[in-house]
Structure 1
């Protein structure tokens, strides 16, 4: 008799992936036979990895995940060929390679004590600059200081920022939300998005809202924190994952039990790598 295979322990992305499956299940109920929804792919670039154990673990946890075996030097091409909207990994080197190669990516971090998250609704929170938007404004702030930054934002309040590295993923969420809205699922939509930004509610916030409109992208809830600690707000939101480009915000999220994902993009990360 073969020994029982011990299930793999859930990682930081487990609740997120489980929530994606919940959305897919509800989508199929509304649109029988639809090919829309999330496709979750487990990228395996380690030739010594036991794929059989991975498949067993996936089945034991009741997930729907495709295992994609690839050579390390070819994984970016594989992600592009599959039209990947988001690549998550605990390996920052792989994440930087993916992002440099044009694939939306982030390094996921698990807090010591994870908050319980919804099993009925996917909840995703984004920072604004250098995540959904380009780092144009952040560059002015980092290089010239607060007052030049405020002047820059005031003068450009009606000029939208360029797209950031995760704009494409946010648009994919919004497109699926629209499918639920078309069936009358508004307040009880199984996808909810949040923008948690250090911008203020004045013209710096107005520029953020103008930028979202230029993307034809709606975010369900927007929090302008004026530089305050993001952790308490994220703790109240309880997202399955929070995306930010700066380590202090990532650490604050982790301290409040929130799974966070670092996007290594923009001037803040360039300066961090130089130190």
Structure 2
């Protein structure tokens, strides 16, 4: 089967992923920390033909099969990849469309180490043609050159740098449990405040308490919230969804979006929904939890990826198998009791 041409960068929705979230490189990272860069490079070269196992971003790029399949069967299996499933449907409806998902691997490894990464990409048959290897330098400066709509990394420092550059970004963590996800529909879940929206309302809550927060939202319910760091990514998803809607595929669209927020529907949900409407954005499902834990709801949704600004919700979702990402933005940034946010802030090879 002939590979389709990769999407054009200026038209594609580009997901930039670091090597340490696409693949499991925990062992190699420990070698780098404990034995230094030269031993790290030597180890990578010696294991060049040994592919990495999947990391937390893997299901976002490619849905895993329950059983091992030969290469020919995997290539012919429809909808075996999350992003590729969307691309395949788009190509059916719009043969000449260049508005497709594209994945770029970003790594600050040297090119010698990159050979193992390329071998791993080929082993898992991932649709990744663009790789940025920066040889020890930060890849953040290249994100805009690659027209990145979203950057996923295991390094919170790099994620913050990307956010400061105005690029949607989030930190991903290796987790023990990962739930099975849909093979025919890409599902993306967002928190509201400090993710899709600004942290304006959270600041009121932190400074003046819950009652003042409710009063503020009621008096400002017709004033749209300012945008948060991931609004642009939701816009990009919505742009693709509309292409399916225009062809009569609203009910079986292969992209589904979710707002999963701690807001109460009656007390503060109106402003959130009116804000989305003012932006011209649709959200498929809105779940207002009134402060309840998000993990059980996300376990039911089974999104490929979930974004939240509070580590409490990220950890709770991850414990139940959801691939949850932390967006280090806004007033609610706190180090958890486990120290998750700061456990790996040393220079990293991604």
Give TM class, smaller chain: over 0.9
User: Across the two proteins, how many residue pairs are aligned to each other?
Assistant: 271
**Range with bigger deviation, 248-257 or 19-28:** 19-28
Structure 2 residue runs without a partner (length 5+): 1-46, 63-81, 342-350
Name 2:167's counterpart in structure 1: 103
Tell me which residue corresponds to 2:312.
248
Deviation at 1:48, TM superposition (A): 6.4
- Per-residue CA deviation, residues 96-138 of structure 1 (Å, 9 max, x unaligned), is 1111122110001243111000111100000000000000000
For 2:112 and 2:266, the matched residues in 1 are separated by: 51
Candidates 8, 19, 28, aligned match of 2:91: 28
Structure of greater relative contact order (alpha carbons < 8 Å, 6+ residues apart): 1
Give the corresponding residue for 2:286. Answer: 222
- The answer to whether the aligner puts 1:82 opposite 2:146 as a matched pair is yes
Aligned-partner Cα distance in 2 for 1:80–1:71:
18
For normalisation by structure 2, the TM-score amounts to: 0.74
From 233, 243, 247, the counterpart of 1:183: 247
Alignment check: 8 A CA contact 1:40 1:64 kept = yes
**Structure 1 SS opposite 2:109:** coil
- What is residue 57 of structure 1 aligned with on the other side? 120
Q: 1:107 to 1:169 in 2, by over 3 A?
A: same
Secondary structure of 1:103's partner? Answer: coil
Segments of structure 1 that go 5 or more residues without pairing to the other structure are none
2:262 maps to what in 1?
Answer: 198
Which residue in the other structure is 2:4 paired with? none
Which of structures 1 and 2 has the bigger CA Rg? Answer: 2
How far the C-alpha of 1:73 sits from its partner, in A, is 4.7
Contact 2:150 2:168 in 1 (8 A): yes
Q: Which residue of 1 aligns with 2:295?
A: 231
Normalised by the length of structure 1, the TM-score is 0.94
